[in-house]
């Protein structure tokens, strides 16, 4: 059986309960989930990359127990689709807050499929 690998990209600045909910749901569809922290040189994050990694790892360990080990934290810059390819992910996880997010994500999914 082929391993199902997913990528969930975000700034995670800071990681929120909403992020954890999405990560938990992701574990139902993937064997390994990469929480990919976007690095934007032009932005000044509230927390450093290392702090965000620590926060995500601590939260997933506390919240998900052994399943938390299936979540790997990585950095990326550039396009999310390129980060997904680099990790070997065939599933891209996205969170939706409202209908506007859905419209945007549907457009992005179409573009990512084309790329």
- Bridge partners of 67, per DSSP, are none
Which CATH fold would you assign to the domain 5-114? Rossmann fold (3.40.50)
Domain borders along the chain are: 5-114
Q: What is the pLDDT of residue 73?
A: 95
Helices 49-64 and 17-26, axial angle in degrees (round to 10)? 60
Q: Are 43 and 75 in contact (CB under 8 A)?
A: no
- What pLDDT digit, counting tens, does each position of 6-25 carry? 999 999 999 999 999 999 99
What is residue 81's three-state secondary structure?
helix
Rounded Cα distance between 52 and 14, Å, is 7
For the segment 24-46, the average pLDDT, to the nearest whole number, is 94
Provide the whole-model pTM. Answer: 0.83
pLDDT band for position 43 (50/70/90)? confident
Percent of the chain with pLDDT over 70: 83
- What pLDDT digit, counting tens, does each position of 77-107 carry? 999 999 999 999 999 998 766 566 656 555 6
Q: What is the 3-state secondary structure (H, E, C) of 4-48?
A: CEEEEEECCCCCCHHHHHHHHHHCCCCCEEEEEEECCCCCCCCCC
For the segment 23-41, the average pLDDT, to the nearest whole number, is 95
91-93, strands of its sheet edge to edge: 71-76, 32-38, 5-10, 91-93
Q: What is the pLDDT of residue 40?
A: 85
Report the mean per-residue pLDDT for the chain: 88
**CA within 13 Å, CB half, 113:** 6
pLDDT above 60 (res 44): yes
């Amino acid at each position: 059986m082929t391993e199902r690998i997913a990528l969930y990209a975000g700034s995670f600045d800071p990681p929120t309960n909403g992020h954890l909910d999405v990560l938990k749901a992701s574990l139902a569809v993937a064997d390994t989930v990469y929480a990919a922290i976007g690095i934007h040189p032009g932005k000044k994050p509230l927390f450093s990359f290392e702090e965000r990694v620590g926060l995500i790892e601590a939260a997933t360990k506390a919240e998900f127990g052994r399943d938390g080990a299936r979540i790997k934290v990585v950095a990326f810059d550039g396009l999310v689709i390129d980060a997904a390819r680099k990790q070997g992910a065939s599933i891209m996880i996205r969170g939706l807050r409202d209908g506007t997010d859905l419209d945007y994500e549907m457009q992005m999914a179409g573009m990512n499929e084309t790329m």
